[in-house]
Amino acid sequence: MSDGPIALGLDPGLATTGYGLVRLAPRGWEVVAGGTIETEAGLPRTERLVEIYREVRALIETYNPIGVAIEEIYLARNARTAMGTAETRGVILLAAHGTPVRGYTPLQVKKRITGYGKANKAQVQATVRQLLGLAELPKPDDMADGLALALCYLLDISGVRREEHAYL
């Protein structure tokens, strides 16, 4: 692995928060780490949020990313789910204090990664796989979203346009 800058992408959710750490390397991008932070449904909400805070803080302290990319909240049909996601997002923002944070809507991620704002999840994952040189599609979906968000951050700071992806 090279010594290029690392971005942390986070897909917030109270039950499952996906994360991806991607490094900007001389010849493209490298996956540093990826996974999910999962909390138990039976625990009090405050304990679940503290667990997410601790895990995100540990990722930031371990990998020292130059920035954090987090998915913006979109309108959800289920108000309870939206509230949990909003609270999780707030905890993540607190954990990232002192590190630059950029928010991306799902539409922005799709457009930035695939060039098409109406791309489906499979298309985004296939492009993430290609850009990161992975043998298989990144799974689970929450982790794949975290990797896509980290890529968005690195694309933005590097100034690489969508049509230049194929040449890296």
Catalytic residues: 11, 71, 142
Q: Judge contact between 135 and 31, C-beta under 8 A.
A: no
Question: Strand locations in the chain, DSSP E?
Answer: 6-11, 16-25, 28-38, 67-71, 101-104
CB contact at 8 A, 39 and 167 = no
Cα end-to-end span (Å), the chain:
16
The number of helix segments (H) and strand segments (E) in the chain equals: 5, 5
Residue 155 near residue 112 (C-beta atoms within 8 A): yes
